Amino acid sequence: MSIAATTNNTSTDAVNVAANNTKTAATETQSKKELTAYQASLQNRQALNSQILSSSLNISLKSDNQSMSLLFKTALEKVQAEFSSSSEKITAEATAKTESKAYETEVDNSPKATSERIVGMAAGFYQKFKERNPNDTEALTKFMDKFSQGIEKGFADAKDILKSLDKLNGKVATDIDETYGLVQKGLKTFQEKVAEEEKTAKNSPTSSTTNAKTSNAA
């Protein structure tokens, strides 16, 4: 191989190395930009949470009672969001009264009372869900999955808000954990009760007669 060819190959390799280094540097710069954007987004979310507490929700977290009110409202909003599709949407009217009570000072916001209100929502929501899915044999299971997802998201968001304000500690943290445990227990009881009621209704003489008439008419 001639000296000229060797020189050309060496120059080409040097150019390739330089190009690769430039590409790597660009990738690292882009990654840093994305990380910075994520951090900015996180900071904006925390700022928004603070704004929600201070202005939109208009509550003072000096009171443990009001922190529990925040938990209830957040859970309600996330449950509604889970049923936001056109075929499953729970209307605002169906939950307006429940939501309006979230921040009433005279409302008992202890873990027991809060969990009972959250579990109590399940009955009203399921009735609406069932009306929209009358022939779905797995309606209860599907409903509980969606409702539970809403509850999980609601608790997580409430904790994020309180944590960002350094309020997720002491009695507030203990009350939220206790409420979560009571909600899970209550939802399990609710599901078992409804499943038993639906099974009994399905096997009742009236149900059998109705099914027979439907079959004959067909």
Residue 120 CB neighbours (<10 A): 13
Q: How far apart are CA 87 and CA 70, in angstroms?
A: 28
Q: How far apart are CA 4 and CA 15, in angstroms?
A: 17
The ranges assigned to domains in the chain are 1-56, 60-207
Which strand (E) or helix (H) includes residue 21? helix 3-51
In tens digits, the chain (218 residues) has pLDDT values of 554 444 455 555 555 555 566 666 656 666 555 556 556 555 666 665 655 555 444 445 555 668 888 888 899 888 888 887 644 555 444 454 454 454 455 678 899 999 999 999 888 889 888 888 888 889 999 999 999 999 999 999 999 998 888 888 899 999 999 999 999 999 999 999 999 998 888 887 665 444 544 445 44
Q: How far apart are CA 83 and CA 90, in angstroms?
A: 6
Task: Give residue 93's pLDDT.
Answer: 44
- pTM passes above 0.85: no
Q: How far apart are CA 41 and CA 175, in angstroms?
A: 30
Task: Give residue 160's pLDDT.
Answer: 92
Q: How far apart are CA 190 and CA 8, in angstroms?
A: 79
Q: Do residues 71 and 100 make contact, with C-beta atoms less than 8 angstroms apart?
A: no
The candidate with the shortest Cα–Cα distance to 142, out of 131, 155, 123, 126, is 126
